[in-house]
Each structure stands twice: as C-alpha cells, then as structure tokens.
Amino acid sequence: MSPADVAREDAVTAALGKLDLPSKARLLMGQDMWSLPALPEIGLRSLVMSDGPIGVRGRYWTADDPSIALPSPTALAATWDPELARRAGRLLAQEARRKEVQVLLAPTVNLHRSPLGGRHFECYSEDPYLTAQIGTGYVRGVQDGGIGTTVKHFVANDAETDRFTVNNVVSPRALRELYLAPFEAIVHDAGTWGVMAAYNKVNGTTMTEHAALLNGVLRGEWGYDGIVVSDWMAARSTVGAITGGLDIAMPGPQGVFGDPLVAAVRNGEVEESLVDDAVRRVLRLAARVGLLDGVDPVVTTPPEDIDGLALAREIASRAVVLIRNQVLEQGPALPIDAAATTVALSGLAARDARILGGGSATVFPASVVSPLDGLTAALPAGALTYSIGAAPSDDLGAAERGFDLRARVFDADGALLGERSLPNGAVNWLGELPEGVSYDALHTVEVSGTFTPQETGQHTFGTKGFGSFRLAVDGTTLFDGNETLTSTDPFEAFFGSTSERGAIELTAGTAVDVSMTHAPLKFADAPLPAIMFTLAHAEPRRDPDELIAEAVEAARVADVAVVVVATTEQVESEGFDRTSLKLPGRQDELVSRVAAVNPRTVVVVNAGSPVEMPWRNEVSAVLLSWFPGQEAGNALADVLLGAVEPGGRLPTTWPAALADCPVSEVTPTDGQLVYREDIFIGYRAWERAGTTPAYPFGHGFGYTTWAYESIDRAETTVTVRLRNTGARRGGEVVQVYLAPVADSVVRPARWLAGFARIEAEPGEVVEAVIRIPDRAFEIWDEDTNAWRRVPGSYEIQAGRSIAERLLTISYDA
C-alpha cells in the first residue's frame, strides 16, 4: 500500500469507529434512486452513482443537462483498442465530475452468449479475453479521472428474459473460463473500485446473496477490496444479502438494509462485524473518490480535459467494421470520391439515426448528427439526394421530433405542485420527482406543449403506462380512458408496449397544441416513488410501396447508393430479449431493390448486435456502424469518403441466419436456463459445429492491404512482421490464436490469445509484438477446483480473423 492508501485506510477505520449501528445500516442503502446518505458526523458527503456505459446521465431523466453520448459498447469493442477505451473512460470521468457523480454504473462485461440477448449492444464481445482487454482499458480510464466504476452484472447476466428470477445453470469451468474471466482480469489489472451484483441466480443462488462467488471467489481468491452494489431492486433478503457479501442495496429509501438490517443485528440474525466489513468498504470507496473529509482522494489532479465531441467522432469512425468491399471496374466500392460522385441516400435511419441502445444505457446528448446531416455537410452541394425508402418500424415512439413539452404536476384538488421540462414524450421519474412534489400528494401529471410537424398527413398518437389518460391534439380529444396493469415486472411502464389512441391530420410547419393528462396508478408498497408513462407519436404513414419506389428511382440515377438500415428500440433494449435477427419492416426489400438498379450499393447497418443480411452478396459494400453515438453522421461521412479508414473488426461472429447459431436459447424452462453448450460459445461453438457464419470473429477490412511476412517467437512472446502493400497509410488488428495440437482435454479448436493494433505507411514493414498470457494455456480443472496448465504442443497462429490465419509457429508447453 502507498502512504496515501495507508492514510485513507486509517481515516476509514477512524470514521467507522464513530458510527452507531443505525448510521452504519443507513449507509449501506440508497437514500433515493442514485445516492447514499451523507453522514456529517464523520465528514462523509453523499455519494452519487449514475449510468453508464456510453455517457453519464446524471440524476434526472431529462435533457436539461445533456451528456456526451459515445458509441455503444459493441462499437468500442470493435475498435480492438484498449487505449481508445481508456480515453473513453477518461472522458466519462470528466463528464461524471461535471455532473457531480462519483461512481459510474459501468462497464457491462457480460458475454455475447446468444445474439438474441437484448442487451447484447451493451456488452463487448463473445470472447472473454477481448472483453477483458476493452473493459480493463475503460475502467483504468474512468478511475484515472478519480471516478469509481462498477463492473456489471456479476455474473452470467447474458440475457434478459425473466432476468429478476432466472436461474442460470453454468458449469464451474464455463464460469471460470468464460463468464468470470473479464471480471477477474479487470479486478486484477485495473483494480476496479466497484462491482454490481446481477438480478439472476447462478446455480440456484441469487447473485446478491451468492457468498461462494462474492466472498469466496471475488474477495477471497481475487483479493478484491471494493464494494459490491446490487443491481437496482435486485436485493431481496436482509440476512441473505449481508451474509452473501452485498455491501450496498440500491435504490432506497425502502429496501433490505437500513432499519431491517438494524433489526437483524439486534435480534441476533446477523453479526455486527459483517455490517462493519461492508461499511468499511463503502467508506473506502468514499475516501477513494474524495468524499471523506481529511484524506486525499486517489486522484488529486485529474487528467487534462478531453474534447468530448471529437472523441465521440473518433471512436465512431474507428469502430466501423467494413465487412464487405467489392472491387468493381473502377476500383473498390469504398471509399467514395466526394468530388466526382453523386450519392442517393435512403433509409429512415439515415435521417432519424439510432445512436444508442435502449433502457438504463440511455443518455440525452445536446445534439445528434445523423448520416443525412453528416453527408450533407461533407459532400458538394447537389451531390446528395435523400429518400426515406423504408422505415424500420411504424410503431409509435416517445413523441420527439418537433415536440416541445413540459410536465406539470397537480394534487387531487388541481393545485400545481411542481413542473419539469422533458427530453421527449417519456416521463421517467424514478425516485426523483420534480422540486416541490411528494409522491403522496401527486395526483395527475399533465404533459403539454406544442408540436410542429415536419410532414403533412395523418399523425398517430398513443400512450404507454398505467392509470387514466386524457389525450388531446389541436383541440380534438383522441382518448379519454383507462389502462390497467396486468404485468408483475416493476419496470413494465418503462419497457412495456404502447397503445395507439388515434390519428389526426396535421400540416407541416403549423404548430398545434398537445396535451396529455395522466393520473398514474400509485403503489403504497412501492420501494421508491416512480412515475413512468409516455406520450407516443408516429409520423404519417406513407404507402410503403411508394416509399421504396422513390428510393429505387433516386438510386437508379446516382453513382452510388447508400442505404442505412437499423433496428429499433423495440428490438434492442433492456428488459426483454430479441425473438429474431431479421431487420424490422421492409428494409431488406429496400436494399435488394436498390441493389438491383445500382451496382455500387453500400449498406450501412445501424444496429448494436447481429442482424440477418440476406442481400449481403447482392451489394458492393456493407459496413457496420453499430449504435454510433451522437457524432454518428460525421463519423460515417469520414469513413465513406475516406478521410478516415474503417478501423473496426468484428468482436462477435455474425451469422447468416439465426438458425445457424450454435447457441441461441435465452428463454428459461421452469425458471432455469441451462448453459448446455458449456465452454463453447461464439467462435468456439461455430468451429466445433463446423458451420460457416456470414462473417467470422475478427473480420473487417480497412482501405489498404497487408502481407503477413513472418512470425518469430521468444518463449511466449510472438513477433509478427507485416507490410502495408496498399497505396495509403492504414491500420491493422493483428490477432493471435492458440490452437492445441492433438489435445488431451476437451477444448475449443483455438482461442484468441492476444492481439495488437499497428499502423504503417505504404510499403512500410512493421512488427506487432504480442505476449501470450499464461492463462491462455490453462483450463479450470473441476476436480481440483484450480487452474491447470495443459502441457503439449500448440500452434500459435497469427492472422486477420479467426478464419484467416496467415502465419503459424509452434510452441511446446
């Protein structure tokens, strides 16, 4: 321990000694949705936590205090660049400090076990090593800035169906080699100050009470000294949680710690020393982030300020994976020569970019650059046309484009209690009501303001939430009725579906009044005051045949056709899994029909996780832009026009069809989800099944070409020499796979054991030096409950994807 660590430990011990049982128990639980109580008697200020992972939302669900929105985690992982992840982390620490947040609820390091996982976009990869490397970079960056991270969700929270109750049955070996591995690496290499316990059970025990994994593995074996916080509302038992190793139950003020914990100690069910251990860890965190008077935080001088928009743009362009780039008569389809090309852009997502995934990962950026905006700015005047072509969905979403809304809260007598601005038609007040409003007094919420349509036609309106609604647009009442609650999911009003309530003819540019009055259902036993409902809207629905025909016509006469296709919030979000990998709506048809008239068709896939692309061999280029964050359009223009090379490589296998996926099940049977595939997920499973995916793990092109010239080895450090054989400077992700020869144990054919990103000028030869960690040669031995090195002959294979291994050298372990 450094002298500063010792000083902090001493201060923590002194502070702990001054607290009585009720204060200690209070400190282990949220005082509201996001914060812990201050204890002025020991000089402790209130600690604030916030989501995470692409930005820092802050305490409120509003756009009043906007956040930088970086690309989503699959995008960050696609950069295969832990240093870039570290810079992202530093920016997030800067954002957290600005918003007076001390702990970021991120990163998410669960694995891509099945492409159906609803929060796939929020996790990094199907590979534990790549996940660990990106996660380590991210955590180092956030903590460089003096802000704590909570690596989540510990552990095996790899799908969303029945996430509060599902029992995931996982072998010890699969747990160690796959699901725990990123957590272990991050604890060890980045020293995270926090871990979040998941909702689900693992092998019969709920994760907030899992003594064997929390106290045994995390603390005991790995020597972790940070806090374990529950996922929100995951803690269910006072005795179970405190004895299982949970330190903080979130949110509050009702919950398993606080008064119930005091009672459990007083009636002899819980040893007070367990409470002390948890409080010590919470105080240690507070000291680390600078909330405990009298001692220095870990970081006294934060790193230099970072330009958030510039970094958002850099990551988004570096993350783009160019998975197909056909060489046509005039050369490769991409990049496009901006000076000499006309471009026909189509796809609703080109105009209404989907920049982030749904759920708790949502943040509200001050501005969004759509692909249409980005290309309009980057191309000469007159070079670009835009047509909608196809919409990912006709579903209603939260009222947004053209709406200017405020919420006002009234009591039962109609007196105004308080008000707040809204980011869009969604009211999501979780434990945080507008100033002056109490949950008891709140009776109705009125969402009102103006709507200035951008399109003439029948606009559809709807509601989401439970209770009574009266909805009027331009003086016409569209709905006056009640919606009753049928589900038991506490977040149903947030994640649930929307009811269509009527349509009205409106004129582009003419503002109309909108008002929705809602008397929400209230629950006496609610763990925290929650008001969640939405005013929903859909633009006029034009004839889909006509939309496609327009786009096809524009594509026919342009030099290049660019089609942006996307998933929606109904497809990729939190609280539910996907049921299909098909692109929603008629987007597949749009691509095929455009490709049929324009031989230079480029498709941009704006999705956080794999989608089926039945047209992929009909088009000349395909690039994955993921959920690219707020600089989406600028980054895309940079890549399409060649200012920046697409730097991404697939962090996860992309299947041709869901049916080909070796592992896809996410639905529990009788409450259990059995991980039958054991250690074979992702490429490990594809190789074993002998099935070829559409695009393999690690795949992706830049704008130059490479010759892999030689490989050498000194012990387990390999040096790969490669030459840039193309005409421009470029970057390459050199991947090293370890393949046992005639294996003595059941193992995958090969696995990722290291990688490095290099850059070179045309003609230049560069070396990638990659050290293979000892762990790559080990398996978890279920008989001895320990790691075991597997001796034997190995091939160390270097290449540009798991399917393109270009150089090999042997090693006897």
Binding site for ligand BGC (CB under 6 A): 51-52, 105, 152, 231-232, 360
Min dist. Cβ of residue 88 to ligand BGC (A): 17
Per-residue DSSP letter, 176: I
Contact 320, 229 (CB under 8 A): no
| Of 364 and 461, CB closest to ligand BGC | 364
Are 70 and 356 in contact by the 8 Å Cβ rule? The answer is no
User: Residue 463 CB, nearest distance to ligand BGC (Å)?
Assistant: 23
Q: How far is the CB of 107 from ligand BGC (least distance, A)?
A: 10
548 CB contacts (<8 Å, ≥6 apart)?
A: 389, 390, 586, 589, 590, 593
Which residue lies nearer to ligand BGC by CB, 234 or 345? 234
The nearest distance, CB 102 to ligand BGC, in angstroms, is 15
Q: Which pair of structure tokens corresponds to residue 47?
A: 């600690």
Question: Which residue, 87 or 152, is less far from ligand BGC as judged by CB?
Answer: 152
Whose tokens are 């230079």? That residue is 600
List, in order, residues 6 or more apart from 543 with CB less than 8 Å away.
Answer: none
Q: Considering beta carbons, is residue 573 or 598 the nearer one to ligand BGC?
A: 573
Angle at alpha carbon of residue 410, lines to 404 and 416, rounded to 5°: 80
Sign for the CA dihedral angle at 249, 254, 258, 260 comes to negative
- 228, 247 contact by CB (below 8 A): yes
| 3-state secondary structure (DSSP) of residue 633 | helix
Nearer to ligand BGC, 105 or 623 (CB): 105
Q: Are 602 and 560 in contact (CB under 8 A)?
A: yes
Give the integer Cα–Cα distance in Å for 473 and 451: 9
- For ligand BGC, the closer CB: 51 or 247: 51
Closest approach, Cβ 202 to ligand BGC, in A, equals: 16
Least Å distance between CB 714 and ligand BGC?
Answer: 43
Rank residues 50 and 606 by Cβ distance to ligand BGC and give the closer one.
50
Min dist CB 152 to ligand BGC, Å, is 6
Query: What residues pair up with 602 in beta bridges, in sequence order?
Result: 562, 621
Instruction: Compute the least distance from the CB of residue 217 to ligand BGC, in Å.
Output: 21
Which C-beta is closer to ligand BGC: that of 220 or that of 490?
490
- HSE of 416 in the Cβ direction (CA atoms, 13 Å)? 6
- C-alpha neighbours within 13 Å on the C-beta side of residue 593: 19
Q: Among this protein's residues, is 395 annotated catalytic?
A: no
Strand-pair category, 403-410 with 416-421: antiparallel
**Minimum CB distance to ligand BGC, residue 735 (Å):** 30
Closer residue to ligand BGC, CB minimum distance, 164 or 439 = 164
Nearest approach, Cβ of 52 to ligand BGC (angstroms)?
A: 6
**Alpha-carbon distances, residue 806 vs 243, 539, 734, 796 (angstroms):** 52, 51, 10, 11
User: 602 Cβ partners below 8 Å, 6+ apart?
Assistant: 333, 334, 336, 560, 561, 562, 563, 619, 620, 621, 622, 623, 640
Cβ of residue 405: shortest distance to ligand BGC, in angstroms?
A: 23
96 vs 752, beta carbon nearer ligand BGC: 96
Which CB sits closer to ligand BGC, 360 or 567?
Answer: 360
Tell me the residue type at 139: V
Give the containing element (helix H, strand E) for 325: strand 321-325
My answer on whether omega of the bond before 52 falls inside 30° of 0, hence cis, is: yes
Comparing CB distances to ligand BGC, the nearer of 31 and 360 is 360
Question: DSSP string of 454-492?
Answer: SS-EEEEEEEESSEEEEEEETTEEEEEEEE------TTH
Chain centroid to Cα 114, Å, comes to: 15
Q: What is the largest CA-CA distance in the chain?
A: 82
Tokens for 20, please give them: 């009585």
Distance CA 194, CA 546 (A): 53
The least distance separating ligand BGC from the CB of residue 117, rounded to whole angstroms, comes to 13
Smallest gap from Cβ 392 to ligand BGC, in A, equals: 25
- Closest alpha carbon to 537 in 480, 460, 478, 458: 460
Residue number with the shortest CB distance to ligand BGC? Answer: 360
Q: Alpha-carbon distance 644 to 353, whole Å?
A: 20
Of 388, 343, 338, 336, the residue nearest 560 (C-alpha) = 343
From the candidates 231, 247, 395, 577, give the one annotated as an active-site residue. 231
Which secondary structure element, helix H or strand E, spans residue 160, and what is its range?
none
Query: Which amino acid belongs to residue 29?
Result: M
Residue with tokens 């299909």: 580
> Residue 527, preceding bond cis, omega within 30 degrees?
no
Strands 151-154 and 194-197 come out as: parallel
The set of residues, in sequence order, having a beta carbon less than 8 Å from that of 142 and lying 6+ positions away, is 89, 90, 92, 93, 96, 104, 106, 148, 149
Q: Name which of 230 and 653 has its Cβ closer to ligand BGC.
A: 230
Q: Which residues are catalytic?
A: 231
